[in-house]
Every structure is written in structure tokens, then in C-alpha cells.
Structure 1
């Protein structure tokens, strides 16, 4: 590698890997407007401030709860969503600051 070559930021690579899966990308997109994209009947927490319960995400996605949880865990490891426990339920919301930094970094990198 020459001095002029730039080594990609490992966090950027992790985020791009997470977004490479179309279902994870769809989940992140849905979480952008939770009140519009999810049936939140019976929600026990504010979907904007706390996030959307995995149960509601799973119902929309039509996938097994374990599959949805695995997809969301990958998005969380990439820093794209934040998880909050409310009782025995986990709620997810987008990390808008991290997403904005990712977009800016992509603009500088590509």
C-alpha cells in the first residue's frame, strides 16, 4: 500500500456491511418514520423517543422474531440503531447522528 492510499474506516465498513442486506436496509428505512410504518397499537413506549418494540417490527416484517432480532443486533453493532429495554421488551430507534456522520463520511470517501 502506498502513502496516498486511504485505509477505509473500520466503522464505515461495518455500517456498509450492515446496510448491504436488503432486509436490514428496509428495517432502518421503516424506523425513520415509525408512526407511519408500524401499527403501534398496544405500544408501551413512545416510538420516537424510545423506539419501536421488536414485536411490532417483527409483525411488519413477517419474519421470525429471532431473525428480526438478529438483523437489528447487526444494525446496532454498526451503530445505526440504538436499543432500549422497557420491561422485558427491546425497542429500537435510529441513531440519526451516527447516520448523518456515515453519510458525510461516504461523501468524503467516495
Structure 2
């Protein structure tokens, strides 16, 4: 876990929103055709008012910080929160 990378990733409200949306995918992405247990397809975030390029950039930053994991199925990439990293980060900042 890289605390600095995580803090940089969390510095943008859109990325914080993405993590919140991924925490409750059933609520925020009910129309996804693929099962949500795979994660949320990157294209689904466009429904939340984000362009494809903006989504890609934000997801890449979250992935570099290890806050999300990916799974590729054919042409689709699915994103899930990395709960292990999030928990480690929360424990780490709790010691400050």
C-alpha cells in the first residue's frame, strides 16, 4: 500500500464518488447487463455524466493507487473496489 498514491487518488471528488458508487453497485448501476459480481463495466460510469476519456483517466489513477481491481472479459473491463487496500489505508491513517 502506497499512502501517498492513495492520498493523491482521493484528492479528486470524482474519484471519491467512483469509489462510493463501487461500494453500492446495485444502487448506482442497476441497468448493467453483466452480473455486478463481476464488477462494474467502465462504460457504466458514462451514465453518471462522465466522458469516456475522463472515466478512463480516473479509473487508471484509482488502479495505480491499488484502490480498484480489474477483470477483463472479452472486450469489457470490470472494476471493483480493492477492499483489502482500502482497509489497510484506513488502519494506516488511523495511526497518525
Mapped pair 1:56 → 2:47: no
Provide structure 2 residue ranges, at least 5 long, that are not aligned to the other structure: none
Determine the C-alpha separation between the residues in 2 that align with 1:29 and 1:104.
19
Residue 73 of structure 1 is aligned with which of 47, 60, 63? 60
Task: Determine which structure has greater relative contact order: mean sequence separation of CA pairs < 8 Å that are 6+ residues apart, divided by chain length.
Answer: 2
Q: Displacement of 1:63 after TM fit?
A: 1.3
Larger radius of gyration: 1
* TM-score for both structures, normalised by structure 1: 0.81
Provide structure 1 residue ranges, at least 5 long, that are not aligned to the other structure: 1-8
Deviations 1:21-63 (A, max 9, x none): 00000000100010111133422xx323x21001112212x11
RMSD over aligned CA atoms reads 1.3
Determine the C-alpha separation between the residues in 1 that align with 2:16 and 2:32.
24
Which has more helix, going by share of residues? Answer: 2
- Deviation beyond 3 Å, 4+ runs, structure 1: none
Counting only pairs closer than 5 Å after superposition, residues 19-30 of structure 1 correspond to structure 2 as: 19-30=10-21
